[in-house]
Amino acid sequence: MKIKWYGQACFLITADDGTKIVTDPYTPETSGYQPVAEEADLVIRSSDNDSFHCRADLIPGSPAVVTALDLARDGGQTTVKGIAIRAIEAMEALDHKYHDPDQNGMYRFTVDGIDIGHMGDVGNPLSAEQIAFFKDVDVLLTLAGGHPVIDLDDLKTVIDEAKPRLVIPMHFQTLSYKPRNALWILSFLSYFDESAVDFALAYETTLTANQIPDSTRVLIMDYVK
């Protein structure tokens, strides 16, 4: 599969059979990131009311849309366009500095035999149940920007206990991100030994099941400009 980071919590994942999945699409004008240009078959979003995470209406084509919060409240799993999806409820930071916190969902799905977890927009320490939800996931798309998303100390606990094989950080400050309220990637990297960190040096990379490391490594990606 191919994985492309557009910025914030939005990735385009293309399966070997051509199926295209977009996660948590944003509003370009307010986020500062580029519009998603490719047509998609499926959009998975953490909620339906956060313009930095929910803009399925802006994705070209006529994709099926799965809202993780709704799925978590309605059985917790489904299969759409051949993609198996699971979800669990989460919450924005209870001490949110900018507005009243909203509920959202975290989710995981499988593409080409690779289990991918997405942390949505959670802003609090994860419960034992939430950590178990991500246990042994192959790839964890990880919030890494500090308040109002999960604190980095609490995030490291999730990674140490869930033991994802590959961690790809997202939702951190970049030169394009307009709100200017997130941490830069160096804060996240301070929690890891340099020997466990790789740099894609591009906004798109190819992953196969046999390329996933045996123990946790971090992959830093660029974003679409």
Exposure string over 164-186, b if 16+ CB within 10 A, otherwise e: bbbbbbbbbbbeebeeeebbeee
| Mean predicted confidence (pLDDT) in 206-222 | 96
Listing DSSP states for 9-42 in one string gives TEEEEE-TTS-EEEES---HHHH-PPPP-S--SE
**Spatial contact of 170 and 8, defined as CB atoms under 8 Å apart:** yes
The pLDDT-based confidence of 146 (bands split at 50, 70, 90) is confident
- Which pLDDT value is given to residue 67? 98
**pLDDT tens across 34-60, in order?**
999 999 999 999 999 999 999 999 999
- Which pLDDT value is given to residue 11? 98
Residue 190 has pLDDT above 90, yes or no: yes
Output the six-digit token pair for 146.
């500090």
- Which pLDDT value is given to residue 135? 97
Class of domain 2-220: alpha beta
Domain boundaries, given as residue ranges, for the chain: 2-220
Output the six-digit token pair for 112.
């080409």
**pLDDT tens across 86-102, in order?**
999 999 877 766 666 78
The pLDDT-based confidence of 104 (bands split at 50, 70, 90) is very high
**Spatial contact of 140 and 108, defined as CB atoms under 8 Å apart:** no
- Which pLDDT value is given to residue 106? 98
- Which pLDDT value is given to residue 215? 95
